[in-house]
Amino acid sequence: MPETYGKTPSGSEITQEFLEHAVTEAEDGYDLDEMKVRPGPGRRPEIESEAAPVQSVRLGVELTRAATERATKAGITRAELIRRAVRDYLSRTA
């Protein structure tokens, strides 16, 4: 069994063969038109055509639960629910 160096985020084992393939691929260059950008940890989504800075807010257990439930019912993320709430508040208090 080949020595492994951990796993990729998708669960593939990182072996010497995997690393050699990755190095060769990187040295050959990537076709940026073929690359897919997937949302995920550490990747900031574009909001309003630019990278969005992250704001950390403490909501508490009950508010977080209520926001999660409302977002799920609306079919949106909790972050989108919070963005909409802030926009709505700012538009009413301008």
Q: How confident is the model at residue 91 (pLDDT cuts 50, 70, 90)?
A: very high
pTM as predicted: 0.50
- Greater model confidence, 45 or 90: 90
Residue 74: predicted pLDDT: 93
Distance CA 54, CA 49 (A): 15
Q: In the structure encoding, which two tokens stand for residue 28, read together?
A: 């050959």
What count of Cα atoms within 13 Å lies in the side-chain half-sphere of residue 18? 12
> Helices (DSSP H) in 4-94: which residue ranges?
16-28, 61-74, 78-92
| Residue range 24-65, pLDDT digits in tens | 988 988 887 777 666 665 555 566 666 677 888 999 999 999
Q: In the structure encoding, which two tokens stand for residue 9, read together?
A: 């985020």
Exposure string over 28-64, b if 16+ CB within 10 A, otherwise e: eeeeeeeeeeeeeeeeeeeeeeeeeeeeeeeeeeeee
Residue 68: predicted pLDDT: 93
- pLDDT beyond 80 at 79: yes
